[in-house]
């Protein structure tokens, strides 16, 4: 074998499943940037769409799935969080696309079908030509059993689209899971190729200095990233967000030291256990501050603990509480009623209603405390603060004086997220102007600057 042949064989290649389509065939109701993204996604066959809230991910994923069905004549499955299915069906009707809600394989109809992640086991992957993950950040945030089930179950599915607002800040493992789901590179391969481990924590990975640019360029071969249309060179007309007003209320909270003694000066909570205790200690004060803010407008009140949820429901007249243990019918009805403006005050957790839902009818929200998840905070705010919102959005965050570490942690993650999104956008901006022929699986190329001289003995062997 010649040396050149050896190098060629080291390059990883993948058979793409995409197809080209003329723009005139794409739904006329889509904006120009949405048309180009759909065309790009169809050409790739397997792709990720990291698109800001309100930029029309649902419309784009529906049109992508509809074109796959038209091209192949075979069914496409959309996986979505609970309560998002009904919203997707309504969105489909606006664009003349029929979507069937199903709970098991026997419910599937020809065309586009949608179900919830929680009942995925009731379906057969080989019955679908395409799969769409709505809110694909579930590849990180869902428990490992379901994350791996999704990756394994649809390993051989020809057409795949993963859609979410933005990846978690600097969570490169999540990006690796997306890459693995799309058959680009496995998470392990991606980490080995572009990253180095950062010390003792197994979840900490840093980009290799020489690989940083190559990593973002590689990601741009299978993922489109935009916060607004101008990120890809389009007009932002109609996509300017209203003002976001962030308010912070800090309540007093006694901190009990060892032996049950009360400290006169609050001790800043550092560990997860200390932060949870600080939230419990300040529970009543935080709930009372939230109740004072409620007026006759529509409100969503986010909480972390079940006891917070119960106290808020009892303390706010007309409030509807939605807990994780509630029946799906209650969750879906509450989400629809709130979205339509028929429900004035919704009390729930960001883990239940913080992803995928459109709540532009509301422009007031309260966080009765903060968890450590920046992604949950970001996504929850974006239920109301999104393109299509007509009013300024008011957000109140109520914490105890002992929880400063939580707020500092959120602020740090916000800065990291902005940096990450800026990098992703920078390396993705030109992607739709290039001729793209499908998903490419590539490794770092060695670019020699000095001509290699083979030793005489090796030349004789060759």
pLDDT less than 70: residues of the chain:
1-17, 141-144, 166-171, 198-203, 253-272, 275, 372, 404-409, 427-462
Rg (CA), the chain: 24
DSSP label of 318: T
Same domain for 263 and 335: yes
Same domain for 256 and 320: yes
What is the rounded CA–CA span in Å between residue 165 and residue 198?
Answer: 27
Q: Tell me what pLDDT residue 404 has.
A: 64
Q: Tell me what pLDDT residue 436 has.
A: 35
Same domain for 287 and 219: no
Same domain for 205 and 76: yes
Q: Tell me what pLDDT residue 10 has.
A: 42
In a domain, 34, yes or no: yes
Q: Are 436 and 42 in contact (CB under 8 A)?
A: no
What is the rounded CA–CA span in Å between residue 48 and residue 233?
Answer: 19
In a domain, 420, yes or no: no
In a domain, 3, yes or no: no
- CA torsion sign, 422 to 423 to 424 to 428? positive
- Of the three residues 184, 206, 235, the one that is the final residue of a domain is 235
- Number of structural domains found in the chain: 2
Any idea of the CA torsion for 122, 126, 130, 135, to the nearest 10 degrees? 30
Same domain for 221 and 91: yes
- Of the three residues 191, 216, 235, the one that is the final residue of a domain is 235
Same domain for 146 and 17: yes
Q: Tell me what pLDDT residue 134 has.
A: 94
Same domain for 249 and 219: no
Phi, psi for residue 71 in degrees, rounded to 5: -70, -40
What is the rounded CA–CA span in Å between residue 359 and residue 132?
Answer: 23
Structural domain boundaries enclosing 190: 9-235
Residues 6+ apart with CB under 8 A from 121: 149
What is the rounded CA–CA span in Å between residue 356 and residue 336?
Answer: 13
Output the six-digit token pair for 142: 């869902």
* Strand, coil or helix: 130: strand
Same domain for 294 and 202: no
Same domain for 199 and 286: no
- Of the three residues 235, 263, 285, the one that is the final residue of a domain is 235
Instruction: For 227-291, list the strands marked E by DSSP.
Output: 244-251
Q: Tell me what pLDDT residue 19 has.
A: 94
What is the rounded CA–CA span in Å between residue 130 and residue 79?
Answer: 11
Any idea of the CA torsion for 347, 349, 354, 357, to the nearest 10 degrees? -40
In a domain, 426, yes or no: no
Residues 6+ apart with CB under 8 A from 397: 246, 247, 248, 249, 366, 367, 370, 407
Buried b (16+ CB within 10 A) or exposed e, 78-111: bbbbbbbbbbbbebbeebebebbbbeeeeebeeb
Q: Are 384 and 362 in contact (CB under 8 A)?
A: yes
In a domain, 296, yes or no: yes
Phi, psi for residue 116 in degrees, rounded to 5: -95, 150
Q: Which of 75, 78, 68, 79 is nearest to 42 (CA)?
A: 68
What is the rounded CA–CA span in Å between residue 48 and residue 271?
Answer: 35
Same domain for 36 and 150: yes
In a domain, 117, yes or no: yes
Q: Are 381 and 245 in contact (CB under 8 A)?
A: no
- CATH number reported for the structural domain that contains residue 128 in this entry: 3.40.50.300
Q: Tell me what pLDDT residue 89 has.
A: 94
Same domain for 315 and 195: no
Same domain for 317 and 285: yes
Q: Are 169 and 424 in contact (CB under 8 A)?
A: no
In a domain, 193, yes or no: yes
In a domain, 192, yes or no: yes
């Amino acid at each position: 074998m010649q040396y050149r042949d050896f190098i060629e064989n080291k390059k990883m290649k993948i058979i793409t499943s995409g197809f080209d389509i003329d723009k005139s065939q794409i739904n006329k109701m889509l904006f120009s940037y949405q048309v180009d993204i759909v065309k790009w996604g169809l050409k790739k066959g397997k792709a990720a769409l990291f698109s800001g809230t309100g930029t029309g991910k649902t419309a784009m994923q529906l049109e992508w799935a509809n074109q796959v069905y038209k091209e192949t004549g075979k069914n496409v499955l959309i996986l979505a969080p609970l309560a998002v299915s009904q919203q997707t069906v309504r969105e489909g009707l606006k664009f003349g696309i029929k979507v069937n809600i199903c709970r098991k394989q026997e419910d599937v109809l020809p065309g586009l079908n949608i179900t919830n992640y929680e009942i995925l086991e009731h379906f057969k992957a080989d019955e679908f030509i395409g799969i769409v993950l709505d809110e694909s950040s579930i590849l990180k945030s869902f428990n490992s059993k379901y994350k791996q089930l999704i990756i394994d179950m649809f390993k051989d599915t020809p057409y795949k689209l993963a859609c979410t607002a933005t990846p978690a800040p600097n969570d490169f493992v999540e990006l690796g899971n997306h890459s693995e789901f799309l058959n680009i590179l496995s998470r392990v391969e991606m980490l080995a190729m572009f990253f180095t481990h950062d010390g003792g924590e197994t979840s900490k990975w840093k980009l290799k200095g020489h690989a940083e640019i190559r990593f973002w360029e590689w990601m741009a071969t299978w993922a489109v990233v935009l916060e607004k249309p101008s990120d890809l060179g389009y007009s932002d007309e109609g996509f300017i967000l209203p003002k976001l007003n962030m308010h912070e209320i800090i309540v007093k909270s006694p901190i009990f030291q060892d032996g049950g003694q009360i400290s006169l000066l609050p001790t800043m909570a550092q560990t997860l256990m200390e932060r949870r205790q600080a939230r419990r200690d300040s529970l009543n004060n935080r709930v009372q501050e939230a109740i004072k803010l409620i007026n006759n407008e529509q409100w969503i009140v986010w909480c972390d603990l079940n006891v917070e949820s119960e106290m808020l429901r009892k303390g706010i007249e007309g409030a509807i509480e939605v807990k994780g243990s509630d029946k799906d019918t209650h969750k879906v009805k509450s989400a629809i009623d709130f979205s339509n403006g028929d429900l004035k005050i919704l009390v729930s957790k960001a883990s239940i209603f913080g992803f995928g839902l459109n709540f532009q009818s509301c422009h007031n929200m309260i966080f009765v405390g903060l968890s450590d998840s920046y992604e949950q905070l970001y996504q929850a705010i974006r239920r109301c603060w999104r393109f299509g919102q007509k009013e300024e959005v008011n957000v109140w965050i109520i914490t105890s004086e002992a929880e400063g570490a939580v707020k500092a942690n959120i602020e740090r993650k916000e800065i990291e997220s902005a940096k990450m999104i800026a990098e992703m956008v920078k390396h993705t901006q030109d992607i739709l102007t290039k001729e793209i022929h499908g998903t490419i699986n590539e490794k770092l190329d060695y670019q020699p600057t000095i001509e290699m001289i083979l030793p005489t003995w090796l030349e004789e062997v060759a």
